[in-house]
Structure 1
């Protein structure tokens, strides 16, 4: 398993544990996290497509690369929200 795959599995595993501990269905994000992710992405989303690509997120102070769960180079609102939710617990 590659380092990227391990990181992805780690984010998903942490999100799964956090979700079940919070009483949410696995893989679900609470509405507050979605709203927070939308605000953060909105600050850096230069083309207003509601997602971040490398040229947009490289301006951020904290790299959100680990949030890209499917490793397609695009960070969606849900991916970012899941990542932030997993870090919060």
Structure 2
């Protein structure tokens, strides 16, 4: 029996990187500009998606990239918590 998660990386590899970046940027801007808990919730959803992507790609990322991605997710989570509070 083959693991079913092998299809996910293959589908992610077909996504246009520019479109994915612009979609994440747009979602982040909406989260930052939306009021209070709504904006914080949007940022938390974006952070959760990025954490899932990080976990999926962790084995193939060089250590420097891992550190940068962890720092970016940490900053996003901090912004979300500040927005909620």
Both proteins in one fold, TM over 0.5? no
Higher strand share: 1
TM-score, structure 2 as length reference? 0.34
Larger Rg computed on CA atoms: 2
Higher helix share: 2
TM-score, structure 1 as length reference? 0.33
